[in-house]
Amino acid sequence: MIVSDATPNLGGITESLGYVFKDKGLLEEAITHKSYYHENRETAHSNNERLEFLGDAVLGLLVVEYLFLQEKQYPESVLAKVKSYLVSETVLADIASSICLGKYLLLGKGEEATGGREKKSILADALESVIGAVYLDSGYENTKNIVLNFFKEKIDSAIQSGEFFDYKTELQEKTQLLFGILPEYKVIRQQGEEHKRIFTVAVYLNGEKLGTASGSRKKEAEALAAKKALEKIC
């Protein structure tokens, strides 16, 4: 689909994915940002927006199917929250960065100059495009294996930590409604080396400690502390 000297060596992507495309044109389309396409109409015959649309739908189905088949039967509200979290721009961009997808993208000069290879929105869209391309190239089962290879740990972690659920917002809304005041979060302990730090956070309401929790990130610890506080005041 794309015949251009600018097309990068795609061996790194196939190695990271653990999948070799039968139709390399699909992969080339998946890494072509619209900014590159608009600047190179003679050589780039398409961009990745259609594949992104497809990949978004395929990814959503795969995530929901995995959650639906878990031994614990989660209600629809939980399924929706976990899915929304896992297909968020932040999570997708994080996975795209882990396979160095950014360095393979075909970008226009403007996007290149403004750090497009590291933009979360571009990385997230590109990952969805690659998922769409894999689906067209090899079908559902192969795509599921590849997606779960990257997402399973994040799915399990999200369920275990409750990171997908906005406990902080719910706590704020309840304390305002019931008591007319907002909760306050304080880091009461930090342990471990900088790259393996554990934060312990306590949440207070009008000076009274309602919950304490620990996590590898301050936001995670705050969310878990808020969850404990909700259990106490409900």
Q: Is 122 exposed, middle or buried (0-12, 13-18, 19+ CB in 10 A)?
A: buried
Catalytic residues: 56, 128
What is the DSSP secondary structure assignment for residue 120, as one 8-state letter?
H
**How many angstroms separate the CA atoms of 88 and 81, rounded?**
11
What are the DSSP calls for 159-215, one per residue? HHHTTTS-HHHHHHHHHHHHHS---EEEEEEEES-GGG-EEEEEEEETTEEEEEEEE
- Residues with Cβ within 8 Å of residue 100, at least 6 apart in sequence: 12, 16
67 Cα distance to chain centroid: 16
